[in-house]
Amino acid sequence: MAAPWASLRLVAPMWNGRIRGIHRLGGAVAPEGNQKKKRTILQFLTNYFYDVEALRDYLLQREMYKVHEKNRFRDKEWIRPDKYGHFSQEFWNFCEVPVEAVDASDCDINYEGLDNLLRLKELQSLSLQRCSHVDDWCLSRLYPLADSLQELSLAGCPRVSERGLACLHHLQNLRRLDISDLPAVSNPGLTQILVEEMLPNCKVVGVDWAEGLKSGPEEQPQDTASPVPA
Amino acid sequence: MIRRVLPHGMGRGRLTRRPGTRRGGFSLDWDGKVSEIKKKIKSILPGRSCDLLQDTSHLPPEHSDVVIVGGGVLGLSVAYWLKKLESRRGAIRVLVVERDHTYSQASTGLSVGGICQQFSLPENIQLSLFSASFLRNINEYLAVVDAPPLDLQFNPSGYLLLASEKDAAAMESNVKVQRQEGAKVSLMSPDQLRNKFPWINTEGVALASYGMEDEGWFDPWCLLQGLRRKVQSLGVLFCQGEVTRFLSSSQRMLTTDDKAVVLKRIHEVHVKMDRSLEYQPVECAIVINAAGAWSSQIAALAGIGEGPPGTLQGTKLPVEPRKRYVYVWHCPQGPGLETPLVADTSGAYFRREGLGSNYLGGRSPTEQEEPDPANLEVDHDFFQDKVQSAWAGYYDYNTFDQNGVVGPHPLVVNMYFATGFSGHGLQQAPGVGRAVAEMVLKGRFQTINLSPFLFTRFYLGEKIQENNII
């Protein structure tokens, strides 16, 4: 039964067959039956037997868990804290190794805390997603990383506005900037355009520039059949 | 058993609410009750006007420890730091007297709102650095219970000052001083300028200095309202009125060289109400002159400058109002989001305003072109192109050396100055407020030493020239 398992891993959130509401995995949305794939015996059974379906869901969960567990960032491993939030002692062996990527998502890092990050002269990727204390002042401190930083993510930071994004123009080596979901930005579509102009070599993701546009006045169909008001 | 011991209504009195009484005592609707009482008395004694319960809520109190003349950002900053640094809660009674509560002519509200550390004097740089950290942590300094946090709309885009050949050496030495004090400023050559900001015309520019951190512009009105709110919550009293008179007493004393000198002490401040002849004498211990463009009038009321010229008694406060214009224009293909506040070799400056390709800026006029400061009318010919809108504001211009005056007067011993900042009062207000509060409460400057800014330099002729005035 190797083939069905293989197809399971690759097409994990997508399967054909009928749409099953509550048994869907983690909110993943399947394409609306557009893809024609061969129905295997397992899929056939799944459609007819609930316990086969439950078994399949369980195995899918296990596979996805394994994928998340793989610590790969451009062929180098992430160093993650364990479930208690502690880093292992082996971390100290890496004193001389330059740090290339820092994931500070959901951290309480603030203006003074950035001191520690700014000393990393070879930092290539920085993720500050959903950091609640990162604001415009913090962004104005990021210029020392201009030579090396290639990827920056600010998604979901509640205090970052377009004024802070203006000081990212120092980061000329930036290739990918994520500015999705910034509630303090007043006009996300226009801000995206201005940031793209400011950083011509960078791919700015996160905002659809057509978001803020309103459709023009619709042409009202002339209703010739309506009676003329007396 | 306890119920028997307590007087009758006490045991249950707290829980029952008798009709007609409410918690909170008589302060609720006191004005309404007073007018009712007056009507009753009038009906009992017809033909006699009852003046016993006059409404004096608009008048300042009769006694106050410190009277601050001027309720702009500097006056409120001094009030805030006096309340923060007082040794015991409620130790100092502070009264802020502001002539115009709409702040229609005050320099604070009309300011462009910039903050930068690119000065030549170390004291100015330190003041600006402290102000930047104050603004950064403003919601910790000015937090008021149950009030929303302040959003200063700070743009950290920095200042870019351009220098021609002859000013390049001065700019380099200034940047050295700035870096020593801890400001993050970088020098750029014309090539680097063109690289970074391709829209700049670098003709005639030999050097540029660019502030990387802690520089930019913000909303001064928000700072003013935040300070006002916080200061009111700390117990400072506000009064809308004009200071018309100081009553002081003098004492003739001998200096160590056996020269006679007359020391004055202000005892009362007469505050006149708006559009009326009514005034209230406020007995006070200390007067702080934070009246901005009108500080010299207040100083003259205290008798500063009445004496033969060339003596300490005859040295006037050299602060006068100078009108400056700010113009707003629209330029669709203009510089992008990263534009700093650019100040040219000629003194003209501009910055972006908002996301919509609007820019605002102005230029300090030369001495010959100085506009008449009698009113805040805008001269549209001063700007050669079409503008969307414009406004004018006053600089409290120090004609001596364009730097502020801070600290006590040598002869009028209880008048302290916090004025004369010639266009950078807003960005130095938190630091200056703290310095004046330290001087008042402790007798000396503790955190930032502003002794070069004392009044005595006008008499001694020691100019502390600031070269980077925009």
The answer, for A193 touching chain B at a CB cutoff of 8 Å, is no
What ipTM did this prediction achieve? Answer: 0.81
Question: What's the pLDDT tens digit per position in A173-208?
Answer: 999 999 999 999 988 888 999 999 999 999 999 887
Residue range B132-180, pLDDT digits in tens:
999 999 999 999 999 999 999 999 999 999 999 998 999 999 999 999 9
Contact B156 A111 (CB under 8 A): no
Residues in A touching B155 (Cβ below 8 Å): 136, 163, 166
What confidence category does residue B53 fall into, taking pLDDT thresholds of 50, 70 and 90? low
Note the CATH number of domain A41-205: 3.80.10.10
Lowest mean pLDDT among A102-106, B250-254, B368-372: B368-372
**pLDDT at residue B16 tops 60:** no
Among the listed ranges A83-87, B22-26, B293-297, B380-384, which one has the minimum average pLDDT value? B22-26
For residues B21-45, give the mean pLDDT.
71
Angle at B327 between CA B324 and CA B330, to 5 degrees: 165
Residue type, B86: E
B271 or B465, which is more confident: B271
Residues in chain A with CB shorter than 8 Å from the CB of B212 are 140, 143, 170
Mutate to test the interface with A, among B150, B355, B357, B358 (most CBs of A within 10 A): B355
**Res B361 pLDDT > 70:** yes
Mean pLDDT of chain B: 88
Rounded mean pLDDT of chain A?
A: 74
| pLDDT tens digit sequence for B364-401 | 887 777 777 777 777 776 777 778 889 999 999 999 99
Residue-wise pLDDT tens digits, B88-130: 988 999 999 999 999 999 999 999 999 999 999 999 999 999 9
Q: Which residues of chain B have a CB within 8 Å of the CB of A158?
A: none
| Cβ atoms of residues B438 and B82 within 8 Å | no
Instruction: Fill in the amino acid letter for B445.
Output: F
How many Cβ atoms from other residues are within 10 Å of residue A147's Cβ?
A: 11
DSSP states of B51-85 as a string?
-TT---TTSPPSEEEEEEE--SHHHHHHHHHHHHH
A100: distance to nearest CA of chain B, Å? 24
- Residue reference for tokens 């207000």: B429
Q: Three-class SS of residue B3?
A: helix
Percentage of residues in chain B having pLDDT higher than 70:
91
As given in the structure block, the two tokens for residue A159 are 């205090």
Tell me the residues of chain A between 157 and 176 that have a Cβ less than 8 Å away from chain B: 162-167, 169-170
Chain B nearest-CA distance from A141, in A, is 7
* Residue A136 φ/ψ, nearest 5 degrees: -60, -35
Question: Among the listed ranges A119-133, B33-47, B409-423, which one has the minimum average pLDDT value?
Answer: B33-47
The pLDDT of residue B52: 66
Of A111, A166, A186, the CB nearest to B338: A166
- For residue A60, pLDDT over 70 is answered with yes
Which residues of chain B make contact with A179, given a CB cutoff of 8 A?
none
Q: How far is Cα B341 from Cα B357, in angstroms, rounded to an integer?
A: 14
